[in-house]
Amino acid sequence: MITTVQQHILQQQQEISEASGTFSWLLSGITLATKMVEAKIRTAGLNDVLGAMGQTNVQGEQQQKLDVYANQALLHCLGLRDSVAALVSEEDEEPVTFDRSVESGKYIIVFDPLDGSSNIDVNVNVGTIFSVLRRLPSADAGLQASILQPGYAQVAAGYVVYGPSTVLVYTTGHGVHAFTLDPTIGAYVLTKEHMKMPQQGSYYSVNESNAAAWPEEFREYVALLRAGALGRQYSSRYIGSLVADFHRTLLKGGVFLYPPTREQPGGKLRLLYEANPLAFIAEQADGMASTGKGRILDIKPHGIHQRTPFVVGSKREVEALLYGQGK
């Protein structure tokens, strides 16, 4: 018998304090939107959806046509859910808010609608990343305070990687589970349950062209990996699509890192909708996620588009950066 992602969420309701029919309905909005995005990507070369829109987003990045489509799909599918109080997207400068009471509008959804979209024209894997936060119970707290919660407050997080198969990975704090989209029935079907990241891997993933601009400790760390100082020989694997690089790290172990640079001392990846959800998944899979100095999930955000250095992967590799070689 197959288990769909909706069935899996319902089965977990005894364990998930947040789970209810409302929560399941909320997550179904995410799965519906990602299926719409997947269908558009699958026929991208046959339709006028490749290439840039000719404008930039709030990040100062060139918007791709599929960025806009993916963003609109998520805003539409999630905005119709009465349980949503606010939607925060990489593509929008300000949150999209809804006039819903604390009792009905219980959740904040933060997302990167199409991570790695600059790769879409060359048929490289891209993805969607999302994070679910519970709205703070006090009406006086305001939506901004509910949005700017530390990563450890996440109710759920996940991503979809669009590749040879379309895979949804998510956690609600009770393990990490993977579902593969079955196009014959139009549903995400459970393919891996309680995923665990290997305690040590054989790959490191980083854009080494920026190495000259990294802090010294990151240059030394990558040199240690290349020299086999952690007891094995590492190979470099870097796709340049965060979801794809993280997905490989989750399955195979090792480490993905995006260090700060002289030009971007605060890091490049966004905390709320890139680092936090992937850090939550990594920790639930027995991995680690850090800025290089401290735990990602402990950071108190000060802005919705805040950036951070990001190091995520197996415990052996991440601890080697934080505490030395760890031998």
Does the 203-323 domain belong in CATH 3.40.190.80? Answer: yes
31: CB partners within 8 A, 6+ apart: 5, 6, 168, 188
Other beta carbons within 10 Å of 71: 23
pLDDT mean over 295-310: 97
Please state the rounded mean pLDDT for residues 151-157: 96
Lowest-confidence pick of 112-121, 127-136, 225-234, 243-252: 112-121
Q: What is the pLDDT of residue 131?
A: 98
Give the start-to-end residue ranges of the domains of the chain. 5-192, 203-323
Residue spans of beta strands (DSSP E) within 166-319: 166-171, 176-182, 187-192, 203-205, 235-236, 255-258, 269-270, 288-290, 307-308, 310-313
| Residue 321: C-alpha distances to residues 9, 115, 172, 288 (Å) | 36, 26, 28, 11
Rg (CA), the chain: 19
Quickly list H helices, the chain.
5-11, 21-42, 65-79, 142-147, 216-227, 242-252, 276-284, 315-323
- Of 54-63, 143-152, 204-213, 310-319, give the lowest mean pLDDT range: 54-63
For residue 54, pLDDT beyond 80: no
Q: What is the pLDDT of residues 13-44, one digit of tens each?
A: 656 555 567 888 889 999 999 999 999 988 87
Residue 327's pLDDT band (cuts 50, 70, 90): very low
Q: Which residues contact 186 (CB under 8 A, 6 or more apart)?
A: 35
CB-CB contact of 209 with 201 (8 Å):
no
* Whether the predicted pLDDT of 326 surpasses 50: no
What mean pLDDT is predicted for residues 95-99?
Answer: 93
Q: For position 103, what pLDDT does the model report?
A: 84
User: For domain 5-192, is the CATH number 3.40.630.190?
Assistant: no
Average pLDDT over residues 146-154: 97
- How would residue 118 be classed by pLDDT, with cut points 50, 70 and 90? confident
Q: Is the pLDDT confidence value at 55 over 80?
A: no
Residues whose CB falls within 8 Å of the CB of residue 151, separated by 6 or more in sequence, listed in order: 131, 271, 275, 276, 277, 279, 280, 296, 297, 298, 299
The predicted pLDDT at position 18 comes to 54
Question: Any idea which of 12-21, 83-92, 208-217, 255-264 has the lowest mean pLDDT?
Answer: 12-21
